[in-house]
Structure 1
């Protein structure tokens, strides 16, 4: 067994001795990194794309003298001669001269026109790594795709990612009010920004979004458990300052009184262009497609970059978002489904366009993210990155929701709507993260070694107060005046008889972590990844009422990649792990029919095995990932099966969940001007070793088993109408069972196909765009144990001026 590997290593060593490497960094005239530029050797079918630091590397180059070509729209093409020597690395610095066009609109050249593809990332592996050499599966939604589709929120951006499904719209509540998604059978939220904590507990405005990275599978080894879940995580990569004056202003208007204005302004603050400033802002207002409802929001995102010299850069930025919005319409089955007389959302006898509430049931919320980063190039092979991030959220206001309850008989006409409210009062959440990274890229003999060593501290504090009451119980189909269920009357009700219940949430935790990840090229084509995280979790207790506790977790990760065609086609496999600290719980003592003393839950663990293939073919015109995975979670904390007595509040920790599936992600540019984004995902999830009510069933939070997405676009690249383009596509989701147990039955959200389209005319100094979302006026629902009707057909037009 050792002979083939030894032979392979010897062969690779021989190749390394007979070929050389060209590497370097591409910057603008003032020293700023230029990302996503194509770098190639003239007349040779090999090249690279610069990463976020402007770095590139071209390996396995036959000795000789070549012309290195680097070019980008808006910048003067640069050519440099380079001599390659066997067994050695030639290092170059390429400076691109500026022209009138904005640096931010750089697009790749040399035939690479797949504008919806990004083939490398810094945050996914916490080191610069190309997709074809990364054993983890992830998807990227680029700013070009966001612009073409007129995407205004992160929610809408996710429709381009295979295997992710929105299941709960944002409630704007501090701590947990952001949108909930499901991936690979598990619930997740968008809590990461540039690889660090960046939680936003409202609909996240896309004004500052440069790209969205969605990592698949348990990612606790590099990200810990507080910011990731077993299905994956969302990382928002924000816009960066660049070194010439430029920007854009835009205005959009459309259906349901939609109005939106945005500003993107960038400017150097000194003649040397070593101090750069950029600010993005947006104002948004929209009424609901239903008879009652509105959302008004403001977003502001300034960023300052200071580059005292080539080795040191300092970035300070902020993200501020304010919103005032009425609660969405959520319906919850409050009775066993068999008693309701309907078991599907499309059978519920309610009006799709009716909110079943009056005015004034709104919540005010704020979210503030502050971020600081200091990068220092210690040597050509080693780099330090010191990061600080803080995230704060606040909410105050009403949260209406509606129960579906059976009446005197299982007849739909006698069923009732339970009009209820869950308010938050002066609720706050805070997260603070400090992270130190040391990155290295060096040779161990003839073997390339890329490593990241990280130290991480995360502080989480929640101080929230929830309370609620039921306002009325009208019969479905009656002539009840639902406008009575309003803010003024709920305030009067609370003043008269107080809340029906209160639910304070206070907790404070600190997590201390260290992690190490190493990518080692055993051959030019074969690389392995090994990583481990040591995590010390400290729960400080709840205001003295509950004792705190500590837990230690070790999280490993392994991967392997073999490039069948160097830098174009690879097969991969990974083992990934994540974990969760579930706190304390009360067991059940059958002898005394009482609850036990608090028990500290064992660490919940998830383990994934995955394999697949990655493509980056035809000069980047075809990129794709195909994968199959198996995730198994053990030590799930669940409710005790005994429904009587003290056991109503008891829990046991023995549940398991198995989640396995297949995913396909394709981004292609078959011919000039035509682009395709397509994906498909199938997931099978099952609860095992569980109580009888849910044993062998799909979790109600796992989402639709089958999901698909498609976007096709064509843009004229020549002629008098150059810049004119059309796009169309949509999303499919199979039936989603959001209530699924033996006691309550099954309640299903029907499958749906939602189709969207856009048209645009993009010129150097202006852009005209129009989009139609849900142009077939499809009635469809999302849900998290609930049914939430989604927006009907909407048309929005936008005009943008670029300077």
Structure 2
């Protein structure tokens, strides 16, 4: 009886204690009183938390008595911390929490709860320089999330971009000075990834995928907000890096794969002060990889520290840096003749042995790169904030660069090798001051950004000239007969540094330094005429001060250019369906370029007038079934005038005066039809043509940088949610392209690279702290090629294994 009484008293005490626990409930909206879905709410220094529902409401149960700090975080909005007191087990109700849109200083806090549609995260403060939802933005863009990259075990930037609709690689990163991180085709025009966190960030090597939070591919001419230095007429590519977030955590990851691939990476995040106002994050990675060909390798290391410091509720600072070092053998392209027909009209006739690299592991390039960014955000009022940004980049190239070119002189599809000793550097500085407002004039809501921008680029080249260094044939033959001499020669050309250095002793070394400055002012406003109807208008003023070659005052010039944009958007079903149309402008202040055959004497700098591009586009966007189905469908038409193009009669010259038209459709779908299943699919069709030119070689023909007419991609990832297979998952997808021109000139005819479809698959198992995954790329071992007046074989079948530990 005594034991029973003790048990009853213990049960009653426990029940009373439990019943005295309180709760926290409330609702969260943005400044326009729109409920926010999926906002993260976390009780500081605890594991208790939740997310808001479709009405912006939340509730956290079983909270013991005490004083707490409620951390409210949502991507694209300022993080808020709210003091809360729970006493006597009562419910603490917060009627309305308003989150103010701002720059992404702290990443969202991850708490328990389902986040739907993991392959689509379209809330961003970068695309419009305003934190607009996708359904509110008249511009089209694709977002590649870190969840998508994780599901695909992505190890390089090129594979990541295969998930973007309408993007195709033209030219892989060579490491050569000025080439940057490769070239891609987008809406009929070549583009390079040159933006990091919305600001110029250059690289001469491949961007490391281990530091990517997401990739934003912004479609169409975008000079109004981003200027001309780092954009293209087809759009731009913005890499959003990993940043500090509230809390302690991180992960260690190791990936190993075919062809000697090994990568170890680390991610560490922590608070640096007791008040949790300073957060530090460090990402780092070291990778080595060999080629599937007989020679070739790449090794890279990077470290990326970042810091966020919230001084108070009004003022915050952030810092980002990335220091990387890469060494590689440059990929060898077969350059086709631009002025005379190649002996072979297709790959079958060419008899290309793509397992041959035609290079040596002794001949390498080094690419040290640094990117830094400092940002200050100050909340001027509830409706206005100030953003000040300083960004600096430096990238260098040192080592040997070579290429193979078909002169059509020696016969038998003979390609001559030319080699140079590279020593170049590019440095940029960008300073921006933005004022961002969200206010009403009468009953009309305005979201406005006004900014001024200063951009400086300094390019230094001390490269040697290009020297002839032997011949090859695609099937593997070699000879030393110089096509520029009348005699038949049998000189050996060993692929060694000593042999190359001996030949380069007769070559001159450039001493060129060029500068350009761009002073800009821009304004863009999104006006809500009604909750469903909005209009966007913006304009940019750019003043160019191009010094050209500092040793040549004759190539200096100044120019002033305006760039407008307009858009209109209507939501027949609010927050679920939007119809949009836009007019966008782009321009390019073309930097002076070295032209002239280096074998005929010193190269010279040539300057150009700006090019102009104008786009008309319309389409619709959806966000249906509680964010389970997102789709964007659009049609665009772009016209470019005064375009600078490579002279088909000489690979060493540029010409101006062309007119190009590019039009097409794009379809992107992101779906989460059932819990655990995420799908991403895309299709694009592009029709491009040079409609006006004084060069008959290219007139009425598809430009070579337009890439394939048709591109498609698909990826589905399913993770079991319960039972014995809980945590186990599968992924399957493909990407492909129609045939495309490697050469398309009147005098040469056409050399067409065939269409391809590449199938990929993965399998994984993950629990709270561990993830193990296997990924099979090019599962069917498709032999396929890419190129831009070149022929470049792509990676055959490759298997990767990944192990990740989270803490």
Distance 1:153 1:640 in 2: 33
1:554 corresponds to 2:556? no
The residue aligned with 1:41 is 55
CA contact (8 A) 2:259 2:291 kept: yes
The residue aligned with 2:77 is 53
The residue aligned with 2:354 is 352
The residue aligned with 2:243 is 240
1:517 corresponds to 2:524? yes
Gaps of 5+ in 2: 1-31, 59-71, 81-89, 101-105, 481-491, 596-603
Change (3 A) 1:252 1:26: closer
Once the two structures are superposed, residues 163-196 of structure 1 have per-residue CA deviations (whole angstroms, 9 ceiling, x without a partner) of: 0011111111333232111101111101101100
Question: What is the RMSD of the two structures over their aligned residues, measured on CA atoms?
Answer: 3.2
Change (3 A) 1:176 1:649: closer
Query: Which runs of structure 2 are paired with 1:563-602 in the superposition (5 Å)?
Result: 563-582=571-590, 601-602=608-609
Once the two structures are superposed, residues 692-725 of structure 1 have per-residue CA deviations (whole angstroms, 9 ceiling, x without a partner) of: 2211100111111110000011111122332211
The residue aligned with 2:737 is 733
1:417 corresponds to 2:425? no
CA contact (8 A) 2:439 2:447 kept: yes
Once the two structures are superposed, residues 720-757 of structure 1 have per-residue CA deviations (whole angstroms, 9 ceiling, x without a partner) of: 33221111111111111021111222222111111111
Find 1:494's aligned residue among 490, 503, 528.
503
Change (3 A) 1:193 1:339: closer
1:214 corresponds to 2:217? yes
The DSSP-based 3-state class of the residue aligned with 2:795 is: coil
Change (3 A) 1:43 1:128: closer
Distance 2:57 2:251 in 1: 38
The residue aligned with 2:764 is 760
Distance 1:339 1:212 in 2: 38
Query: Which runs of structure 2 are paired with 1:377-416 in the superposition (5 Å)?
Result: 377-406=379-408, 414-416=412-414
CA contact (8 A) 2:429 2:456 kept: yes
Once the two structures are superposed, residues 645-678 of structure 1 have per-residue CA deviations (whole angstroms, 9 ceiling, x without a partner) of: xx99997643100000000011101111111100
| TM-score, structure 2 as length reference | 0.84
The residue aligned with 1:469 is 467
CA contact (8 A) 1:335 1:404 kept: no
The DSSP-based 3-state class of the residue aligned with 2:706 is: coil
Change (3 A) 1:329 1:547: closer
Query: Which runs of structure 2 are paired with 1:102-121 in the superposition (5 Å)?
Result: 106=110, 109=113, 112-121=115-124
The residue aligned with 1:329 is 332
The residue aligned with 1:10 is none
Distance 1:529 1:689 in 2: 32
The residue aligned with 2:433 is 436
CA contact (8 A) 2:262 2:289 kept: yes
Distance 2:557 2:474 in 1: 48
CA contact (8 A) 2:297 2:361 kept: no
CA contact (8 A) 1:23 1:55 kept: no
1:123 corresponds to 2:126? yes
Superposed displacement of residue 207, structure 1: 1.4
The residue aligned with 2:9 is none
| TM-score, structure 1 as length reference | 0.85
Distance 2:594 2:551 in 1: 18
How many residue pairs end up in the alignment?
725
The residue aligned with 2:671 is 668
The residue aligned with 1:296 is 299
Once the two structures are superposed, residues 32-74 of structure 1 have per-residue CA deviations (whole angstroms, 9 ceiling, x without a partner) of: 9x99964543799xxx993332579xxxxxxxxxxxxxxxxxx
Range with bigger deviation, 463-472 or 699-708: 463-472
Distance 2:271 2:506 in 1: 56
Range with bigger deviation, 524-533 or 23-32: 23-32
Distance 2:680 2:749 in 1: 38
Change (3 A) 1:459 1:705: same
Distance 2:122 2:92 in 1: 25
- Deviating beyond 6 angstroms after TM superposition, the runs of 4 or more aligned structure 1 residues are 23-27, 102-105, 584-587, 597-600, 647-652
The DSSP-based 3-state class of the residue aligned with 1:144 is: helix
Find 1:272's aligned residue among 267, 270, 275.
275
Distance 2:310 2:454 in 1: 27
The residue aligned with 2:687 is 684
Once the two structures are superposed, residues 245-270 of structure 1 have per-residue CA deviations (whole angstroms, 9 ceiling, x without a partner) of: 21101111111111110000111111
Change (3 A) 1:757 1:476: closer
CA contact (8 A) 1:38 1:108 kept: no
CA contact (8 A) 1:251 1:262 kept: yes
Change (3 A) 1:602 1:726: same
Find 2:792's aligned residue among 783, 788, 794.
788
Superposed displacement of residue 689, structure 1: 1.5
Change (3 A) 1:490 1:431: farther
Superposed displacement of residue 423, structure 1: 3.1
Superposed displacement of residue 492, structure 1: 3.8
Distance 2:305 2:496 in 1: 35
Find 2:262's aligned residue among 256, 259, 263.
259
Distance 2:91 2:308 in 1: 29
CA contact (8 A) 2:35 2:56 kept: no
Distance 1:37 1:629 in 2: 38
Distance 2:49 2:581 in 1: 29
Gaps of 5+ in 1: 1-18, 57-77, 84-89, 95-101, 588-596
CA contact (8 A) 1:625 1:664 kept: yes
Find 1:749's aligned residue among 744, 748, 753.
753
Change (3 A) 1:787 1:721: same
The DSSP-based 3-state class of the residue aligned with 1:462 is: strand
Distance 2:517 2:346 in 1: 43
Change (3 A) 1:241 1:35: farther
Once the two structures are superposed, residues 548-581 of structure 1 have per-residue CA deviations (whole angstroms, 9 ceiling, x without a partner) of: 1111010000011100110110000000001112
Once the two structures are superposed, residues 292-340 of structure 1 have per-residue CA deviations (whole angstroms, 9 ceiling, x without a partner) of: 0110100110111111212211111201111111111211113756351
CA contact (8 A) 2:667 2:682 kept: yes
1:656 corresponds to 2:650? no
The DSSP-based 3-state class of the residue aligned with 1:654 is: strand
Once the two structures are superposed, residues 363-387 of structure 1 have per-residue CA deviations (whole angstroms, 9 ceiling, x without a partner) of: 0111100110111111111111111
CA contact (8 A) 1:30 1:274 kept: no
The DSSP-based 3-state class of the residue aligned with 2:697 is: coil
Change (3 A) 1:583 1:205: closer
Change (3 A) 1:113 1:649: closer
The DSSP-based 3-state class of the residue aligned with 2:159 is: helix
Find 1:608's aligned residue among 615, 622, 646.
615
CA contact (8 A) 2:350 2:413 kept: no
The DSSP-based 3-state class of the residue aligned with 1:748 is: strand
The residue aligned with 2:176 is 173
Range with bigger deviation, 684-693 or 549-558: 684-693
